[in-house]
Amino acid sequence: MNRFVLRVVFVGLLVTVLAVFSCGPEEERGVEPASCGEITDWQGCQGAEACGWLIQSCDGEVGASCMPAAEATVSAGCRALETQDCHEQESGATCSPNACRWLPPGCGLEGDYPLDGLTCVPLMECTPGAEDECPEGLQCYPFTWDPCAGSECEACGAHEHSCFPPVSE
Protein backbone atom coordinates (compact mmCIF):
# COMPACT_ATOMS: atom_id res chain seq x y z
CA MET A 1 0.00 0.00 0.00
CA ASN A 2 1.50 3.39 -1.01
CA ARG A 3 0.97 6.33 1.30
CA PHE A 4 2.33 9.73 2.19
CA VAL A 5 2.66 11.08 5.72
CA LEU A 6 3.55 14.68 6.52
CA ARG A 7 4.59 15.48 10.05
CA VAL A 8 5.29 18.94 11.44
CA VAL A 9 7.52 19.04 14.51
CA PHE A 10 7.66 22.21 16.65
CA VAL A 11 10.76 22.79 18.77
CA GLY A 12 10.81 26.32 20.22
CA LEU A 13 10.85 28.68 17.26
CA LEU A 14 12.19 26.02 14.90
CA VAL A 15 9.65 24.26 12.72
CA THR A 16 10.76 21.10 10.95
CA VAL A 17 8.56 19.60 8.26
CA LEU A 18 9.25 15.94 7.85
CA ALA A 19 7.83 14.11 4.86
CA VAL A 20 7.76 10.34 4.99
CA PHE A 21 6.97 8.33 1.89
CA SER A 22 6.04 4.73 2.53
CA CYS A 23 5.87 1.92 0.04
CA GLY A 24 7.43 -0.86 2.07
CA PRO A 25 5.90 -4.03 3.45
CA GLU A 26 3.49 -3.72 6.38
CA GLU A 27 5.94 -5.26 8.87
CA GLU A 28 8.51 -2.45 8.35
CA ARG A 29 6.04 0.14 9.60
CA GLY A 30 5.81 -1.33 13.11
CA VAL A 31 9.31 -0.13 14.10
CA GLU A 32 9.55 1.41 17.58
CA PRO A 33 11.02 4.95 17.70
CA ALA A 34 14.00 3.72 19.76
CA SER A 35 14.97 1.40 16.87
CA CYS A 36 15.06 4.13 14.18
CA GLY A 37 18.81 4.74 14.65
CA GLU A 38 19.50 1.14 13.67
CA ILE A 39 18.03 1.67 10.17
CA THR A 40 20.79 2.64 7.74
CA ASP A 41 18.96 3.04 4.42
CA TRP A 42 16.52 5.77 3.48
CA GLN A 43 13.87 3.44 2.02
CA GLY A 44 13.74 1.43 5.24
CA CYS A 45 13.54 4.58 7.33
CA GLN A 46 10.78 6.08 5.21
CA GLY A 47 8.84 2.82 5.44
CA ALA A 48 8.82 2.95 9.25
CA GLU A 49 5.96 5.12 10.58
CA ALA A 50 7.78 6.17 13.76
CA CYS A 51 10.96 7.25 11.94
CA GLY A 52 12.08 10.13 9.76
CA TRP A 53 15.06 10.48 7.40
CA LEU A 54 16.83 13.73 8.35
CA ILE A 55 19.23 15.24 5.83
CA GLN A 56 21.37 18.17 6.88
CA SER A 57 24.49 20.06 5.86
CA CYS A 58 27.19 20.64 8.48
CA ASP A 59 30.30 22.58 7.41
CA GLY A 60 29.54 21.82 3.75
CA GLU A 61 29.22 18.06 4.31
CA VAL A 62 25.82 16.49 3.70
CA GLY A 63 24.81 13.81 6.15
CA ALA A 64 21.68 11.76 6.60
CA SER A 65 20.35 9.64 9.42
CA CYS A 66 17.23 7.82 10.50
CA MET A 67 15.80 9.01 13.80
CA PRO A 68 12.50 9.02 15.66
CA ALA A 69 10.20 11.43 13.79
CA ALA A 70 9.47 13.40 16.97
CA GLU A 71 13.21 14.09 17.38
CA ALA A 72 14.05 14.90 13.74
CA THR A 73 15.49 18.39 14.18
CA VAL A 74 18.53 19.94 12.56
CA SER A 75 21.66 19.83 14.76
CA ALA A 76 23.22 23.03 16.14
CA GLY A 77 25.60 24.57 13.60
CA CYS A 78 23.96 22.71 10.70
CA ARG A 79 21.18 23.54 8.27
CA ALA A 80 18.48 21.53 6.56
CA LEU A 81 18.97 21.01 2.84
CA GLU A 82 17.09 23.60 0.84
CA THR A 83 15.77 23.90 -2.70
CA GLN A 84 19.06 25.20 -4.07
CA ASP A 85 20.86 22.11 -2.70
CA CYS A 86 18.75 19.55 -4.57
CA HIS A 87 20.80 19.50 -7.80
CA GLU A 88 24.00 18.71 -5.93
CA GLN A 89 22.58 15.45 -4.52
CA GLU A 90 23.51 12.29 -6.39
CA SER A 91 21.45 9.70 -4.54
CA GLY A 92 17.99 9.25 -3.12
CA ALA A 93 19.60 8.94 0.32
CA THR A 94 20.64 12.61 0.32
CA CYS A 95 17.75 14.02 -1.73
CA SER A 96 15.92 15.79 1.08
CA PRO A 97 12.18 15.01 1.25
CA ASN A 98 11.77 18.41 2.94
CA ALA A 99 12.89 20.33 -0.16
CA CYS A 100 13.33 17.87 -3.03
CA ARG A 101 11.97 14.79 -4.83
CA TRP A 102 13.99 11.87 -6.25
CA LEU A 103 12.43 11.41 -9.70
CA PRO A 104 13.02 9.18 -12.73
CA PRO A 105 13.00 10.84 -16.17
CA GLY A 106 9.89 10.46 -18.28
CA CYS A 107 9.13 10.65 -21.98
CA GLY A 108 9.99 14.33 -22.21
CA LEU A 109 8.82 17.02 -24.53
CA GLU A 110 11.06 19.16 -26.70
CA GLY A 111 12.38 22.03 -24.61
CA ASP A 112 12.17 20.11 -21.32
CA TYR A 113 15.04 20.33 -18.86
CA PRO A 114 17.11 17.16 -19.43
CA LEU A 115 16.82 14.79 -16.47
CA ASP A 116 19.83 12.49 -16.73
CA GLY A 117 18.61 9.36 -14.96
CA LEU A 118 17.19 9.57 -11.45
CA THR A 119 17.44 13.22 -10.43
CA CYS A 120 16.97 15.18 -7.21
CA VAL A 121 14.43 17.86 -8.24
CA PRO A 122 13.35 20.82 -6.07
CA LEU A 123 9.96 20.38 -4.43
CA MET A 124 8.54 23.60 -5.83
CA GLU A 125 6.53 24.80 -8.78
CA CYS A 126 7.48 27.91 -10.73
CA THR A 127 6.36 29.88 -13.76
CA PRO A 128 8.73 29.97 -16.75
CA GLY A 129 9.97 33.52 -17.30
CA ALA A 130 9.20 34.65 -13.73
CA GLU A 131 12.57 35.89 -12.46
CA ASP A 132 11.81 35.93 -8.72
CA GLU A 133 10.33 32.46 -8.15
CA CYS A 134 13.60 30.49 -8.10
CA PRO A 135 16.54 30.79 -5.71
CA GLU A 136 19.53 32.75 -7.01
CA GLY A 137 21.44 30.87 -9.71
CA LEU A 138 18.45 28.72 -10.73
CA GLN A 139 15.89 29.20 -13.51
CA CYS A 140 12.40 27.83 -14.08
CA TYR A 141 12.21 25.07 -16.70
CA PRO A 142 9.57 22.54 -17.73
CA PHE A 143 10.53 18.91 -17.11
CA THR A 144 8.94 15.49 -17.46
CA TRP A 145 9.26 12.64 -14.96
CA ASP A 146 7.90 9.08 -14.98
CA PRO A 147 5.13 8.70 -12.38
CA CYS A 148 4.87 4.98 -13.21
CA ALA A 149 8.48 3.97 -12.63
CA GLY A 150 8.47 0.66 -10.80
CA SER A 151 4.71 0.16 -11.17
CA GLU A 152 2.40 -1.22 -13.81
CA CYS A 153 0.62 1.93 -14.95
CA GLU A 154 0.80 3.07 -18.57
CA ALA A 155 1.76 6.78 -18.31
CA CYS A 156 5.30 7.65 -19.33
CA GLY A 157 5.46 11.23 -18.18
CA ALA A 158 4.10 13.87 -15.84
CA HIS A 159 4.91 17.40 -17.00
CA GLU A 160 5.80 20.04 -14.38
CA HIS A 161 7.95 23.15 -13.86
CA SER A 162 10.73 23.55 -11.30
CA CYS A 163 13.94 25.47 -10.62
CA PHE A 164 17.13 24.08 -12.19
CA PRO A 165 20.66 25.34 -12.91
CA PRO A 166 20.77 27.17 -16.27
CA VAL A 167 21.15 24.97 -19.34
CA SER A 168 24.36 25.82 -21.21
CA GLU A 169 23.59 26.51 -24.84
| Residue 150 φ/ψ region, left for φ over 0, alpha for ψ in the -120 to 50 degree band, beta for the rest | left
What tens digit of pLDDT does each residue of 63-97 get?
878 888 777 777 888 877 777 788 888 888 888 77
Instruction: Report pLDDT for 30.
Output: 57
Most confident range (mean pLDDT) of 17-21, 56-60, 157-161 is: 157-161
The residue type of 113 is Y
Task: Please say if the pLDDT value at position 103 is more than 80.
Answer: yes
**Would strands 51-58 and 61-68 be described as parallel, antiparallel, or unpaired?**
antiparallel
What tens digit of pLDDT does each residue of 34-51 get?
788 888 877 777 777 778
- Asked if 104 contacts 154 with a C-beta cutoff of 8 angstroms, the reply is no
Q: Half-sphere exposure of residue 52, counting CA atoms within 13 Å on the CB side?
A: 23
pTM above 0.85, yes or no: no
Instruction: Report pLDDT for 119.
Output: 92
The percent helix, strand, coil of the chain (3-state, each to 5) is 15, 35, 50
Q: Which of 38, 24, 94, 27 is nearest to 68 (CA)?
A: 38
Mean pLDDT value across residues 96-122: 85
Query: What residues does each domain of the chain span?
Result: 3-80, 100-169
Query: Under 8 Å CB-to-CB from 150, ≥6 apart: which residues?
Result: none
Task: Please say if the pLDDT value at position 12 is more than 50.
Answer: no
Q: Round to whole Å and give the CA distance between 130 and 168.
A: 19
How sure is the predictor about 144, in pLDDT bands with cuts at 50, 70 and 90? Answer: very high
Mean pLDDT value across residues 24-35: 56
Segments in the chain forming alpha helices (H): 42-46
